[in-house]
Amino acid sequence: MKLGFRWYGADDPVTLQKIRQIPNMHNIVTAVYDVPVGEVWSRESIRALRSRIEENGMVMEVIESVPVHEDIKLGLPTRDRYIAAYQENIRRLAAEGVKCICYNFMPVFDWTRTQLDKVAADGSNSLVYYAEQLKGMDPLSGELSLPGWDSSYKKEDMRRLFEQYSHVDSEALFDHLKYFLEAIIPVAAENDVKMAIHPDDPPWPIFGLPRIITDEKNIDRFLKLVDSPYNGLTLCTGSLGADPHNDVVHLVDKYSKMGRIHFMHVRNIKLVENGFEETAHDQNCGSLDIIGIMKALSDNGYDGYIRPDHGRMIWGETGKPGYGLYDRALGASYLNGVWETLQRMK
């Protein structure tokens, strides 16, 4: 496995100097953040990111994310212009050494939580999702926001988007995804860049918007839309694991055996009656079988990318919810320990 850490660029309070001190940390997972969704990233910005990372002794082989413009997900006639821009981004990133691109195909909202700072018994706090809290959230208010969400939408944009999506069900969304993949996977293959779709988080429709990368049946269908090793997955354990019907160890085993996992997001969650709570990465802190997941990767000789995922806020740290330094660093060390032990026992 190739261990990485997400970094939000020059404004991230979690600096590269700090990240590089995490044992075995080698790969920075990042993106160009100051370009509107759907536009081409400048070669200079990509090169500047790369240089900064390499000056700090690490590499930039994974981009998370190159976001997909809503017109592509909606299947609008304007999508071809955004797809051409996406293809160009793949070429430009490949020219700077990028090997894997993470993206998602969730309408309007990326990952969704209902509270960002739920305090646990030990005084740490973390992100949670409770169904009853979701009922109280109004997506049309234009006021909901999470790190990673496109924050450029105004209230009027939201109304328009929801109106447009009222004509798009999950079948249509699958069709639009196929159209997109047919256009970008050949470019990814030519440039030797592995495309890695992120599952929907949580893996069920929210606010009446369809979500399709949710379970084994739909992931099988997704992989067949364009049956190429360049069309693969970011397998996010916490996203898929939020639905207790998903057997995450089985999914990791199956798709890593097929060579279709290019990037792993590993984190633990505790399933509760109406949703889930994010916990420390360790096996005994949540409901997921993290050791089983790492063992499935190890048994299948996984040599793709991996990163610890959301961390809690501990030791008084404040910052981007889910993306502080301390707990993610503990997560990285935990994953290292489990992995090294599994290698020794082989």
Q: Is 215 designated active site?
A: no
Q: Is 74 or 102 the residue whose CB approaches ligand DNO more closely?
A: 102
CA angle 253, 112, 183 (to 5 degrees): 65
Measured distance CA(184)–CA(333) in Å, rounded: 35
Q: Is 92 or 310 the residue whose CB approaches ligand DNO more closely?
A: 310
Q: Is 167 designated active site?
A: no
Site for ligand DNO in 270-329 (CB under 6 A): 310, 322
* Residue 102 makes contact with ligand DNO by CB under 6 A: yes
Q: Residue 100 belongs to what H/E stretch?
A: strand 100-103
* Residue 198 makes contact with ligand DNO by CB under 6 A: yes
Structure tokens at 10: 């020059």
Catalytic residue among 71, 165, 176, 198: 198
Kindly tell me which residue out of 41, 82, 86, 103 binds ligand DNO, with binding defined by CB under 6 A: 103
Residue 217: HSE in the Cβ half-sphere, 13 Å Cα cutoff: 3
Binding mask 204-243 for ligand DNO (x = CB under 6 A): --------------------------------x-------
Q: Is 130 designated active site?
A: no
Q: Is 12 designated active site?
A: no
- Alpha-helical (H) ranges within 248-321 are 248-257, 290-299
Catalytic residue among 71, 103, 153, 236: 236
Measured distance CA(309)–CA(314) in Å, rounded: 15
Q: Is 148 or 161 the residue whose CB approaches ligand DNO more closely?
A: 148
Count of residues that interact with ligand DNO, criterion CB under 6 A? 13
* Residue 148 makes contact with ligand DNO by CB under 6 A: yes
Catalytic residue among 69, 176, 281, 310: 310
Contacts 24+ apart (CB under 8 A), 81-85: 82/38, 83/180, 83/183, 83/184, 85/38, 85/39, 85/40
**Least gap, CB of 344 to ligand DNO (angstroms):** 30
Binding mask 51-80 for ligand DNO (x = CB under 6 A): -------------xx---------------
Structure tokens at 60: 């930039």
* Residue 150 makes contact with ligand DNO by CB under 6 A: no
From 102, 32, 23, 26, select the one nearest 62 (Cα to Cα).
102
Residues designated catalytic: 198, 236, 265, 309-310, 323
Q: Which residue ranges make up the site for ligand DNO (CB under 6 A)?
A: 64-65, 102-104, 110-111, 148, 198, 236, 265, 310, 322
